[in-house]
Structure 1
Amino acid sequence: MYAVVTLQDSDEVMVAPSHWLSSDKKQSYWPPFRSSEKCMEAVQKRLKPETGGKPWEKLNISFHKEYDSFGKAKEGQKEITEQKERSFLLATGFPGMLKRQRPESTQDMSKNPLPTPSTSTSRLSADDKDDLLQMLRDIKSKVQENSSMLKKLLKVNTASEAPSSSSLSTEDVKTSLNLPLRTFEDVARTENELRNATTRQKYVKYLSRIGGLGPKDVIKNIMQQVLTDNLAMEFNWQGRGDKKPFSKLILTDVIRDAASKHSVMKKDCETEIKTYLWYTIDRIGRKRPRVCEGVTSELTPPTLLDSAFQSEIGMFFLDD
């Protein structure tokens, strides 16, 4: 059995296997695939609503009707979609188009007469009306897309901000991880901790809660939580000059894993980390009052940090 439902978040009319629906038919499991082809395949094959043993997310739905085959359900989906479009056009003040789009019988018209089209609308040619109808559909689609995106953003923000009774608050977790790191001793200690898989996952989970709009924003927000600017100034990606190589840290892999939760690709992640480290001095200069021309006099002396850092982590920083 297949059901035709409307996903409330996006207002899309979709077909779903009946066993995906909750008993009250107010929710439905929905595949997490980005590809529409994979989603369609999951529906047609009536797959079990889980991936790797983990159940899919449940979405709020409006139930319409059940059908005994996928083909009939697709026909029902098309019919319900057209009904929703006609309702939308009526609500937007273009009922005259509906006569041409789906003519009704004389008897039905007498029972439920459509409003008389305005003079300006009736003067439009058939091609103009088709163009206008498509424009309205595009507008409706864009409104639905934006509405869905906004709801997801609000859902993510609410989930990240809401305190959990079974776990530490975000600020408590940050404190327990001793972030941001301020010295090379902090980095050495953290590198040792990250060799433990459970601790590493704890860091990934915390940093993945830090979002942003696009790769640049995500990496900037994560890096600000991980390193102070004074410490970030002592690193660059490859460790050229008198800098330490950030690319060789286990912490860098942790940042990649956290950023990947926000669909930041590995290449983009590395590019944004390089950029962040490169502009550290500029950030420090903007934050501090310009009492003198340079800012290095107020920074932690690198020579004192170097010896402790190298003794704790080892000599792999000297390979470059």
Structure 2
Amino acid sequence: MYAVVTLQDSDEVMVVPSNWLSSDKKHCYWPPFKSTEKCMEAVQNKLNPETEGKLWEKLRISFLGEYGTFEKAKEGQKEIKEYEEWSYPLETVLPGIKRQRLESTQVMSNNQLQPLPPVTPASTSRMSADDKVEILQMLRDVKSEVQQNSTMLKILKDNTVSEAPSSTCVPSKNPKLPLRTIEDVARTEMELKNATTRKKYVKYLSRLGGFMPKDVIKNIMQQVLTDDLAMQFNWLGRGDKQAFSQLMLTDVIRDAALTRNVNRGDCESEIKKYLSYAAGRKKREQGGPGHEIPNVISTSMMDNQSEREIPWNIFD
């Protein structure tokens, strides 16, 4: 296990092994090495916090979170550093936010908000770890809502949503796969909020065949989205790509794969590979004569679906 902490003396956000933390998680042993590389090696190898039987120096810390692997801890460290770039303006209003929750009748006077007292940088440096964690969670929530709203605005702008007021909540009568655009994905995400529709997708995708995890996931992914669309995703949404792991559609794929004895770990691993190889498949497809394109669709899939329309009658 690894933890992400803030060193109180320097305000640096660091990754450390959990065995370096004190029992109350308010202090952390720190190696005496001058070399950055040697310190990093000590962290990755989770060395015992001692040299020749002498314990290392203890530093005061703020505990921010714990992770199962070093790689996940580094991702958490990066995320926290990014959010801390926003921390000062949020820290200045956080006392007002808390006061508004506790004294709402006093804050609102004659339908006007009382002005918040100025907060100095010195006071913000004394924020507790709980306050910082609350700020990070608030920012995560804001980021998630912005992403969802942006997707829905694209749908409305392109006029891809049906004129019926309830069309975003009720699955379309004849949905087609594979999905071809981000708007198709957003619309499907809305449809999958319907439990009945979700079960139908799971049942359909679980019937696409395959014996090994690679074949099962390949058959499902090919039926779910085109390579052009797959190229716009990666697992975590790094760079300028969308996060496939955050979709409800991904949970549907996991459930469908599980019915064919593909566990969660193998399912996620094969999805990551499939997304990362999308550009290569597209390149082979555009190669013209002399480039053999492998038959990547399982023979257990139905041959007469010219547009791969889901035969919803199989669910009846």
- Please classify the TM superposition score into its range, dividing by the shorter chain length: 0.3 to 0.5
Q: Going by fraction, where is helix more abundant, 1 or 2? A: 1
TM-score, length-scaled by structure 2 = 0.36
TM-score, length-scaled by structure 1 = 0.36
